Structure formats: C-alpha cells, structure tokens
Amino acid sequence: MSVSQLKTVLITGSTSGIGLAIAKMYAQKGYNIVFNGLEPNGAEIAAEVATAHNIQHLFFPADMSDPAQIKDMAEQSLERFGTVDILVNNAGVQFVAPVEEFPEVKWDAIIDINLNAAFHMTKALWPKMKAQKFGRIINIASAHGLIASPFKSAYVSSKFGIVGFTKTLALEGGEFGITANAVCPGYVFTPIVERQIPDQMKVHNMTREEVIQNVFLKEHAVKEFITVEAIAESVLFLTDSAAASVTTGIALSVDAGWTAH
C-alpha cells in the first residue's frame, strides 16, 4: 500500500506531552504522521516513533505563531501524503498573572499559539478535506474552555475561543463529511504542569504533595491527574469509532469531574 493510500494525521505540538501520546497512538494504528514541535531533539523523537511502528512521517519545527510556517507545513504535508485526514490542533502555551500585571507580549503569544494557530492550520487543510468529503478535526481545548479560573485571562480566553471555533467548524463541515470536536482535559501531568509545581510551592508555601492535592487536583472529583493516554484515547474515539461520523461540535470533558461543579 502506498503512502497516499494510508490515512494521515497531522498533530501540532506532538513531540512532547499530550501531542506525543496522541502521535504514538496513531502510529500504533499505522497512520502516516506529521509531527510538529520546538524541542531541540524533536526530529529524533519523531523518527524514533516512526521507526518503532514502521510508519511514514514528516517533522516540522514550525513556529505555530507564524501563519506562513503553518501554511508551509500544510502544503508540504499534502504534497508528501496527498491528504491529511485527521488534524489535531494541540500546540499550546500558558502564563499566569493578575490581569493588571499580565504582559501584553504574553497575551499575544497565548492567543496566537492556542487559538490563531488552530484557525490557520484548519484553513490550510480545509479545502482538501472538503474536496475529498472527509475530515476529522480535533481541537485540544481544556476544562478552561468551559469554566474560568483567576489569573489565567489569556489562556481561558483562548480555550473558550477554541470551543466556539470547533462548533462553527462542525456546522460548516457537516455536509462535506468533516467533523470537528474539542477535547477538554482537566489537569494532565505533562512537562508544563511539572514546571509549574515549584512556583506554586513558593507562592503557597506548600510541599510538592500539598500543591498537587490542594492546588492542581482541588477541583477534580477524582483526585488524580488525567493521563496523556486518556486524552489520546478520547481523540481516537472522536476520529475512529463507530460514533465518529455523527459526533461533531461537542466539547468532550475528560476532567475527573472538574466541570461537574
């Protein structure tokens, strides 16, 4: 079977954390994978996954705040594989500060990467999906796409925007076989969260375990971090299950009960 006959998935931010778990899951299924990430060893990470599962792949260290680089990644992916059947908009960044102290440069970066990048990536691949009458778009949002927390004005705004963008895509894509859904995780133990723990320990004068239980997991009904594998399985359900073709426009909470409050 040629690479053009296999399904292809493009995952932004896929050389670490949630994105890497999603990539590994699709690799196990035999998909061609387009990786993206800014890790210095991103190309090696992508190659290791591809080699382990004997799949075809591309890797782009594209800056997701740059529409030109996003468009180039889409064009090269289509040139190589013919189609991108599944798009997972996963790349994201975070910064925490009171609104009056929130740096404008941080606001712009978060909106660019968490929200604008998903628009540019989707727009670049949409015509091909529309022409082939098939597409699956998954936007990794957050529980913060459904509820707010203090000191996260940019992040919450970007994730609420992603959920709204997802619903609009669902309405526009339905007649063309394109579905669009958002996955809204609670706290997932990723490198981003790991880096936040020491800062939270200082701010709250707490031990590591106290920060985990009293800050990160405070609103989780199930007092556990969400695993990256749980998010990957949620994405798979929305793209490859029997329900995938008729499930569109939803914001799937995988948040240990956070948004049940």
The catalytic residue positions are 155
**156 vs 143: CA distance, rounded Å:** 9
Contact 86, 10 (CB under 8 A): yes
Please list the residues that pair with 140 across neighbouring strands.
Answer: 183
- Rg from Cα positions in the chain: 18
Strands of the sheet containing 178-185, edge to edge, are: 57-60, 32-36, 8-11, 86-89, 135-140, 178-185, 251-254
Specify the residue for token string 């798009």.
87
**101 vs 130: CA distance, rounded Å:** 43
Q: What's the full length of the chain, in residues?
A: 261
Helices within 112-152 (DSSP H only): 117-132
Which SS3 state, helix, strand or coil, does residue 46 take? helix
Residues 88, 109, 164, 155: is their CA dihedral positive or negative? positive
**238 vs 252: CA distance, rounded Å:** 9
Residue among 14, 18, 76 nearest 39 (CA): 14
